Amino acid sequence: MIEWRDVGKQFGRRRLFSGISGALEPGRSLVVTGPNGSGKSTFLRLLAGLARPDAGVVLRPDPPFSIGYASPDLATYGELTGRENLEFFRNIRGGGVDSASLLDRFGLSKAANRAVAHYSSGMRQRLKLAVAIAHEPDALLLDEPTLALDADGIALVDAIVADFVEAGKCIAIATNDASEAARWGTAKLDLR
Amino acid sequence: MPQKPPAGALPNSTSVKAAGTGALKWFRCAAAILAKEARVEWRSRLAVGSTLLFSLCALTAMAYTIGQTKLQPSVEAALLWVVLLFAAMSGLSRPFVREEEMATADNLRLYAPSSAVLAGKLLFNLAFMGLIELVTVPLFFVIMPADLSSTNYGLLVTISLLGGAGLAATSTFVAALISQASAAGARGALFFVVSFPALVPVLMAAVHGTYAALAPAATPPEFGQNSIVTLISYDIVVTAAAYLLFDWVWRES
């Protein structure tokens, strides 16, 4: 479980949010909504430990508790192929799902040996999602996960969310899409 | 009959917890980062290409300027390290700066121990610096009208390796520091401004040691030995400081 207490974040004089408390509970999916610039992505970065709150605390369990994270602001290595990217992340994390299974599940088998720089935006998004779940994390944080995805890709995200909830793991998703929020969320945090 | 995997699990997976712990996992991670850096550089050839091109241009310009004028060994030593310094500056910041520019740095922050990130990138920069020296040092003595008849080659190689290691270690840590500067355009200038003062001791020792290697008869024996001791001490202190401070630099945001 990831918990946050009285969390606030601001950039310069501009306050994004403040006084937010809550928890990412196992088996429940939290949908983070709000208009552009409300701090959805920043909030997920706080949960991931990639940014620090200006007020309050974010409590994450110690390792081996692991987090998977996918965001439009996070890229894979363009000079490497899809397979090499997955192998690299598997190696630095010390294990996880084998690359061939992931490439197959995410529909990237045919492009496995092509440099990611030559992928379409949808294929890159699929690869990011594959990287995020490749180590079977205890918590998954997805920022705009359907960005650039086709119908099959969106169905893939639906399946990932359902799998995590069914497995009793933690998942948080930031989205602007009301239908996605209604489909995925068992809990909601509105940052407007 | 095979059991159905639990929901959320994928087939053919290796448990992260069972895949090795402690030192072995750390070494695998550092080795993976080193291999990734080498592969990315091999495919883009940005740092190696620009650095070697700089060395070649600088040496050619010096050769035309100096002509057949015979230089003192002390001047040759200084010129050699000026070329090595500026060549290194153009390439050693790439491993960290590229991660930020390509928006891949957060992957490493999330999934890799920070000390393994430092080790992987430092090892890459050491190899990179070794390659630059392997090309630049012989080329320098081919192009410049130097008298190498009395050169102490063992000392020259030792000083080159230790001095190069000092440049690589300092540059790696400073690159991690400046790569997080929000103004991307300022990173190059910041890198030089921050790293240059820290590199003065290694440059002084490397120039003195190279002078001792080029003119062993004109310098007392302890001249070269003192340079070696200074460079070894510098390399150890910089690497230890980088190891101790890196987590704070890498994760502070």
Whole-number pLDDT of residue B252? 62
| Lowest-pLDDT choice from A109-118, A138-147, B17-26, B85-94 | B17-26
pLDDT at B9 over 80: no
Per-residue pLDDT band for B11 (boundaries 50, 70, 90) equals very low
ipTM of the prediction? 0.91
pLDDT at B234 over 80: yes
Answer whether B248 touches A (CB < 8 Å): no
Task: Determine, for residues A167 and B28 on separate chains, whether the beta-carbon distance falls below 8 Å.
Answer: no
A190 to chain B nearest CA, in Å? Answer: 25
| Lowest-pLDDT choice from A43-47, A64-68, B116-120, B190-194 | B190-194
Pair B175, B97: CB distance under 8 Å? yes
B22-76 tens-digit pLDDT: 888 899 999 999 999 999 999 988 888 888 899 999 999 988 888 878 888 999 9
CB-nearest to A69 from B28, B29, B110 is B110
Segment B91-114 mean pLDDT? 92
B161 to chain A nearest CA, in Å? Answer: 29
B140-150 tens-digit pLDDT: 988 887 778 88
Task: Determine, for residues B20 and A97 on separate chains, whether the beta-carbon distance falls below 8 Å.
Answer: no
pLDDT at B15 over 60: no
| Closest chain B residue to the Cα of A66, Cα to Cα | B111
Whole-number pLDDT of residue B41? 93
pLDDT at B14 over 50: no
Segment B175-203 mean pLDDT? 82
Task: Determine, for residues A51 and B253 on separate chains, whether the beta-carbon distance falls below 8 Å.
Answer: yes
CB-nearest to B10 from A75, A89, A101 is A101
In the stretch 70-109 of chain B, residues with CB closer than 8 A to chain A read: 102-104, 106-109
A96 to chain B nearest CA, in Å? Answer: 5
Three state DSSP letters for chain B: CCCCCCCCCCCCEECCCCCCCHHHHHHHHHHHHHHHHHHHHHHHCHHHHHHHHHHHHHHHHHHHHHCCCCCCHHHHHHHHHHHHHHHHHCCCCHHHHHHHHCCCHHHHHHHCCHHHHHHHHHHHHHHHHHHHHHHHHHHHHHHCCCCCCCCCHHHHHHHHHHHHHHHHHHHHHHHHHHCCCCCHHHHHHHHHHHHHHHHHHHHHHHHHHHHHHHCHHHCCHHHHHHHHHHHHHHHHHHHHHHHHHHHHHHHCC
pLDDT at B17 over 90: no
Answer whether A35 touches B (CB < 8 Å): no
Residue predicted with more confidence, B225 or B192: B225
pLDDT at A155 over 60: yes
Answer whether A154 touches B (CB < 8 Å): no
Task: Determine, for residues A100 and B12 on separate chains, whether the beta-carbon distance falls below 8 Å.
Answer: yes
Whole-number pLDDT of residue B144? 83
In the stretch 163-182 of chain A, residues with CB closer than 8 A to chain B read: 163-164, 166-167, 169
Answer whether B17 touches A (CB < 8 Å): yes
Q: How confident is the prediction for chain B on average, in pLDDT? A: 86
pLDDT at A183 over 50: yes
Pair A69, B19: CB distance under 8 Å? no
Percent of chain B at pLDDT exceeding 70 = 89
Whole-number pLDDT of residue B241? 95
Answer whether B7 touches A (CB < 8 Å): yes
Query: Global pTM?
Result: 0.89
Task: Determine, for residues A77 and B16 on separate chains, whether the beta-carbon distance falls below 8 Å.
Answer: no
pLDDT at B250 over 60: yes
Q: How confident is the prediction for chain A on average, in pLDDT? A: 93
CB-nearest to B104 from A77, A97, A167 is A77
pLDDT at B176 over 60: yes
